[in-house]
Amino acid sequence: MLTPPRQVAAIEDVSVRRMTSDQVILDGIDWSVRAGEHWALLGANGAGKTTLLKLLGATMHPTTGSVEVLGNRLGRVDVRELRAHIGHVSTSQRVPQDATAHTVVLTGATGTVQPLWKKYDEATREQAYALLSELECKELADRPFGVCSGGQRARVLIARALMPSPSLLLLDEPFNALDLPSREDLIDALRRLAADRPGLATVTVTHHLEELPPSTSHALLLREGRTQAAGPVAEVLTGEAMTRCFGRPIEVTSQEGRWLARSGRRS
């Protein structure tokens, strides 16, 4: 009998409320992520996607329920230590614009905004170069981050997030504001990453099915803080499920592992 993949994250009956207004942001969420799974997290603005990603990233705690990440339950672990083992990529991350791409990747080893040069030995520096090469942007090593294109920045930030060799990689709208060539370069990079690192689990927040790489294995749909559907991507990314999630008629098609969603007029 095959051994089931190791559980990377488990969320059980989780709710999150905004304390000042008692607004429900997440309501009764149950979800698990296993090693080697690649999840898409979809829903309209305000559905709770970013909050759910923060729970997985150990940057906030639930109001009720339990969150376990990498075998550690939030509330019973030093979250600073836990965060060091979780890769997190967001276009809103603070990055010194004048730092070279190689320096930005190096800071992933210390989890700092500014480089801590005394902490980086030769092996760490070589690892940063290797990750830039893996993301096919080694030519950016000496280029200031601030003059890199949006797509180049996204790949550099992914390389940075991989420095501590995480088991879980969280991608918060990594395709934001990318043009078509940059989007396709990033999709291809994520596809290769999934193939080259079979134990890595990823969760990607996006608004567009067209941004999902062919390696996407699972999807979770959120609406107003509640799960609408969750499971294997072919079972979840259907016109019926997407229509329920977004509240308007949506037609979904797929071809060679890529997805397309379009909305018709309301009847």
Q: What percent of the chain has pLDDT over 70?
A: 97
**Identity (one letter) of the amino acid at 71?**
G
Cα(262)–Cα(97) distance, rounded to whole angstroms? 37
pLDDT value of residue 207: 87
Q: Identify the domain containing residue 112 by its residue range.
A: 96-165
Examine the domain organization and report whether 237 and 262 are in the same domain.
yes
Q: Can you give the C-alpha Rg of the chain in angstroms?
A: 19
pLDDT value of residue 265: 62
Question: pLDDT of 34-87, one tens digit each?
Answer: 999 999 999 999 899 999 999 999 999 999 999 999 999 998 888 888 888 899
pLDDT value of residue 166: 93
User: Does position 3 have pLDDT exceeding 80, yes or no?
Assistant: no
Examine the domain organization and report whether 76 and 205 are in the same domain.
yes
Confidence grade of residue 2 (pLDDT, cut at 50, 70, 90): very low
170 in Cβ contact with 82 (< 8 Å): no
Whole-structure pTM value: 0.91
Long-range contacts of the stretch 92-95 (C-beta < 8 A, 24+): 92/172, 93/157, 95/145, 95/153, 95/157
Mean pLDDT, rounded, of the chain: 91
Number of structural domains found in the chain: 2
Question: pLDDT of 156-210, one tens digit each?
Answer: 999 999 999 999 999 999 998 889 999 999 999 999 999 999 999 999 999 899 9
- CATH for 241: 3.40.50.300
User: Does position 22 have pLDDT exceeding 80, yes or no?
Assistant: no
Which tokens hold the place of 76? Answer: 């019973």
Which tokens hold the place of 174? Answer: 């990594």
Which tokens hold the place of 192? Answer: 């290769």
Cα(156)–Cα(138) distance, rounded to whole angstroms? 9
β-sheet bridge partners, residue 202: 38, 169
pLDDT value of residue 80: 86
List of residues 6+ apart from 22 with CB closer than 8 A: none
Q: Would you say residue 217 lies in a domain?
A: yes
User: Does position 94 have pLDDT exceeding 90, yes or no?
Assistant: no
Q: Would you say residue 21 lies in a domain?
A: yes
Examine the domain organization and report whether 197 and 75 are in the same domain.
yes
Least confident residue range of 3-17, 56-70, 141-155: 3-17
Confidence grade of residue 143 (pLDDT, cut at 50, 70, 90): very high
pLDDT value of residue 1: 41
Q: Would you say residue 90 lies in a domain?
A: no
User: Does position 5 have pLDDT exceeding 60, yes or no?
Assistant: yes
Q: What percent of the chain has pLDDT over 90?
A: 79
39 in Cβ contact with 65 (< 8 Å): no
154 in Cβ contact with 178 (< 8 Å): yes
242 in Cβ contact with 234 (< 8 Å): no
User: Does position 4 have pLDDT exceeding 90, yes or no?
Assistant: no
C-alpha distances in Å from residue 109, one per residue of 31, 82, 146, 155, 172: 29, 14, 20, 16, 20
Examine the domain organization and report whether 265 and 187 are in the same domain.
yes
Enclosing H/E stretch for 50: helix 49-56
pLDDT value of residue 84: 85
Q: Is 24 helix (H, G, I), strand (E, B) or coil?
A: strand
Other C-beta atoms closer than 10 Å to the C-beta of 61 total 14
